[in-house]
Structure 1
Amino acid sequence: MAPTVSVIIPVHNGSKTLQACLAAVYAQRHPVTEVIVVDDASTDDTREIAAGFPCRVLHAEQNAGPAAARNRGIRASTGELLFFLDSDCAPEPEALGNALAILAEQPDVACVHGIYSLRPLYDDGPVEAYRLLHGHYWRLRNVGRVRTTLFAICLIRRAVFADVGGFDERLRASEDVELGDRMGDRYGIVLTDTVVCRHDDDSHLGRLLRKQFGRSQLLVPVALAERGPAGIRANTPAGLLCATLVPATLPLGLAAPALLLVPLGLLLLFVAADPGLLRFVARRRGPGFVVFFYVVHLLVQLTVVAGAVVGGLRHLADRNFGPARVAAAKLPR
């Protein structure tokens, strides 16, 4: 008999995308056993949208973040397998079936997660196109066996949570990465390009940078807590270093205009740090978009570095900033 599958969707103010997300869930070619929407104290009409589908809706009085919402969904679910979706993701019709096939073909694999489509859920402009291009590229680059779990679209065996515990509810970002690290080598994890979802990504540069700065503050604490080798990284160390040095060397031009060649050279090295990405963007959107892409990419990389530095300092000042230093609570089978 086919295993039972519970779909768990954490959502906070998801009125723009939840309708499309749930419609895509119920359009899966492989049927699901139950769908659980965990409303994390939304203030829009998220609840009303969810009520239009035959799903179970759990309401939180206070916003507690995606880790707590996912844990609540796990406790309320009954499926042998748990299919996690972010509320701004709409899986392609064959996504669940393809993930199930990988679990059936590779019994040592406990977790299968997928990639974002290059086609957005809603086309909101060039900033979103940048995000989707970069997000698709680095996931595609890492397809295969990995040590990192990414829960935007992810199928996982329920038994994992009874063994390693649930999500760390102190984390508002990187909670899925931290869980994957706890899974370690005991459970196989596969990132596949056969499990695809359309994603509604950030479309306003200011909002993108603010969100990236907040998320990046947890990079250092989570990395320091990792028990095994580093998992998936979206950006290359060389690219991050060159991005940091570009503005740092700009004042050299005050001493001598010719020294502006230094930051210019570093900018070129930044673009060349990941030649595969450069070719990918040029092939998909053309050379004109490449310029826009790397302007935004530079700003994002600088924000990542700034967030990581601030997060590292916060961790030094308060060791409770970051992953919990006690074992995560194990969830029932």
Structure 2
Amino acid sequence: MPEQPLVSVIIPNYNYDRTLSACIEAIQQQTYPSIEIIVADDCSTDDSVAVARRLGVTVLESAVNSGVSTARNLGAEHARGEVLFFVDSDVALEPDAVAKAVEVLQAEPGLGAICGMYQPEPMFPDSLVKRYRAIQQYVWFNEIDGPIPGLHSALFGIRVEVFREIGPFNSRLRWTEEQDYGFRLNARYEVRAASSIRGRHDHDGTLRVMITKVFQRTRLGAPNWVRLKALPGGAGTSYRALGSGFVLSAVLALLSAVVLGPWALAAAGVFVGIGMALDWRTYAYAYRHHGVLFGLQFTVLHLLVTLTSAVAAGIGILQGLLFPARMRRLYV
């Protein structure tokens, strides 16, 4: 690889004009000197295309709205770089993110991809849900600084020859394209997460959108992780998965309180306590860095997300057992 290979930064986008300018400007301010910026717009109906063109970057437009996989593939098809760096349009990279990604890829020619991580603050901290989600994902992502079994598709670098070898993202997938590509890539190469490569993510701002995404991604992802006998994170992921089961058990105990009385209420309290203890690092970060009031709000949201994950995982695993062929089509 040459001293300073051209890096094609590819931004898949659909209706994110509110964050796209911050995303592009962060790339334009990178310390790495040899960059082309490509916005692959998936038929947006807002001002995204106008925003991108005003900032002077290359804009590619899909004919119809087809999903993030199609947008990423469109950008990769037209990229001239020896390194592809994919970054979602709601992420603002730290100034040295691209430089550090190239440094790692140059130092380790056999590495498949290098993934970045989110900062603990959202791009625009204008809602409680965004602040909650930023902390949650920051703590979870930071559990592994090294090889990962999946892929952080929101910000990652990959050599163009490796991308061509693995093939494009599966354009039929809307919720599990990241898992699919991560599994394909890990089958041939090591994929690594690096805490030195950072970006601020504009997380979902409403409870409804966040819960919907958590439910869908967990429901569709759970049977595949079970089939592969792996979880997307480190040891903490296993503890959290177990903890979510205890939170679900607490809710079931509460529902049975009419029949079982005080014993069910006591059991619910114990189950919640165990579930929180198994994920104590997440709660501790919120309380330690943001105080008790925010910590209490964080706790309510996190218990709701944990419960949603448990329900979704249960439904997904059951669907995988009852309809294996149908569920398998979601990953291939």
TM-score by length of 2: 0.91
1:177 aligns with 2:183: no
> Distance in 2 between the 1:249 and 1:133 partners?
29
Identity %: 32
2:255 corresponds to 1:254: no
Amino acid at match of 1:223: W
- The one of 230, 240, 244 aligned to 1:240: 244
Q: TM-score, normalised by structure 1?
A: 0.90
CA separation in 2, counterparts of 1:222 and 1:25? Answer: 34
Q: Distance in 1 between matches of 2:257 and 2:149?
A: 44
Number of the residue aligned with 2:86: 84
SS in 2 for 1:286: helix
Inter-CA distance 174–32: structure 2 relative to 1 (3 Å threshold): farther
Is the CA contact (8 Å cut-off) linking 1:174 and 1:222 kept in structure 2? Answer: no
Show CA shifts across 1:202-243 (max 9, x none).
Answer: 1211221122222223113432564x8444268422122112
**How far 1:86 sits from its partner (Å)?**
0.4
State the alpha-carbon separation in 2 of the partners of residues 188 and 216 from structure 1. Answer: 24
Tell me the distance in 1 between the aligned counterparts of 2:125 and 2:241. Answer: 31
Q: Summarize deviations over 1:112-168 as a string: whole Å, max 9, x none.
A: 111111222111122111100011001111111222211111111112222222212
Residue in structure 2 matching 1:265, options 252, 267, 270? 270
* Rounded Cα–Cα distance in structure 2 between residues aligned with 1:321 and 1:61: 29
Distance 2:248 2:69 in 1: 31
Query: Unmatched 5+ residue regions in structure 2?
Result: none
Between the aligned partners of 1:320 and 1:166, the Cα distance in structure 2 is 22
Structure 1 unaligned runs (5+)? 327-333
The separation in 1 between residues aligned to 2:23 and 2:17, in whole angstroms, is 10
C-alpha deviation, 1:98, in angstroms:
1.2
Is structure 2 residue 310 aligned with structure 1 residue 305?
A: yes
1:305/1:57 CA distance change after superposition, 3 Å: same
Structure ranking higher in helix proportion: 2
**Alpha-carbon deviation of 1:105?**
2.3
Deviation at 1:79, TM superposition (A): 1.1
Report deviation, 1:325. Answer: 6.8
**CA separation of 1:323 and 1:175: change in aligned 2, threshold 3 A:** farther
1:45 corresponds in structure 2 to: 47
SS at match of 1:145: coil
User: What is the rounded CA distance, in whole Å, between the counterparts of 1:171 and 1:267 in structure 2?
Assistant: 35
Provide the C-alpha distance between the structure 1 equivalents of 2:214 and 2:88, rounded to a whole number of angstroms: 17
Q: Quote how far apart the aligned CAs of 1:321 are.
A: 4.1
Change in Cα spacing, 1:323 to 1:32, as seen in structure 2 (3 Å) is: farther
Letter in 2 for 1:52: R
User: Equivalent of 2:219, from 214, 217, 220?
Assistant: 217
Alignment-derived partner of residue 280 in structure 1: 285
Question: Cα distance 1:122–1:37, how it changes in 2: closer, same or farther (>3 A)?
Answer: same
Residue-pair matches, total: 325
- Structure 1 counterpart of 2:145, from 140, 143, 146: 143
The code of the aligned residue for 2:52 comes to A
Aligned residues of 2:100 and 2:196 also touching (Cα < 8 A): yes
